Structure 1
């Protein structure tokens, strides 16, 4: 059954708890979403609060995918670029699909829904995101229409002696 995607869902306690659980579970499944396992909900909470503040201030929008039980199963944050010369594109951050739903095509569905959402925002012409090298994520994003446009070698230190490239991907919306 496909996920139901909602742009700008009402932020209530169940949504906040669902986001926190999703981010924690994805991180602990070795997902490249800003943490290295193991993490707890309390480790992730400050980053979620930052995202919620950005949403409240209108700097970011949440795209959430809900499963058939109404649980948060996938997310992406569409974050506006504040530089006056770069307001024609936005960042896509924290792209996640819950481990129990991976392998069902929901990641591609999430990226397609994010592109549709971005196309609905006046003046937005492209989406940029970064991903951690060494995990095959570039191939996944490329299969969804993104192109690699930059790479910073060894920019992400996962652990001592384990540095990964920071890969910049772009999706033109026209």
Structure 2
């Protein structure tokens, strides 16, 4: 098991911080995870680098310290996983953020990278972004509710059958919240 002490984390809060090499590594990770059936934003594999790059570019364009960040987990200097945390400065909702595109490389699955990434994002949200709670939506039927539940997240609702992955495969979208941070 990878100790969270063996992991490093980096935050990207400005589009200019993304190097070509890092961008390509994030694209490679997302493509790998999606094509293995991961619930990280592309429900219909296979995807290719062109498709993933277009979506990642839109995320990168919106990076800003107070609105959107990438949190990247590094194992031995290599990207092991990443996620996007976003918040809205509009006063009624400025106290919470949303987690998107949580993913870990296939080669590090089961080694605690995902749990460490989620623990670190909790600290970032609370200590650096001043948030009080986090939200996420998870694809039902793949064990994500249990994974997040072990980390303190609570299911707060479901949209039954909201995700149609195939004509005979409707999945719930599971709404989850972590509060207090």
Identify whether the pair has TM-score above 0.5, normalized to the shorter chain. yes
1:4 maps to 2:8:
yes
- 1:17 counterpart = 2:24: yes
1:80 maps to what in 2? 87
| Cα distance in 2 for residues equivalent to 1:125 and 1:84 | 13
Shift of 1:123: 3.5
Instruction: Please give the residue correspondences for 1:98-109 in structure 2 after superposition, counting only pairs within 5 Å.
Output: 98-109=105-116
Matched, 1:139 2:146: yes
Q: Which 5+ residue runs of structure 1 have no aligned equivalent?
A: none
TM-score, normalised via structure 2 length: 0.89
The alpha-carbon deviation at position 121 of structure 1 amounts to 3.0
Distance in 1 (CA, whole Å) between partners of 2:29 and 2:7 is: 14
Structure 1, residues 117-163: CA drift from partner, whole Å, max 9, x if none?
11113531001011000101000000001000010011111122211
Matched residues, number: 173
After TM superposition, give the deviation of residue 30 of structure 1 in Å: 0.8
RMSD: 1.6
CA distance in 1, matches of 2:90, 2:142: 30
TM superposition score normalised by structure 1: 0.93
Instruction: Spell out structure 1 runs of 4+ moving beyond 2 A.
Output: 56-59, 81-84
Q: Structure 2: where are the runs of 5+ without partners? A: none
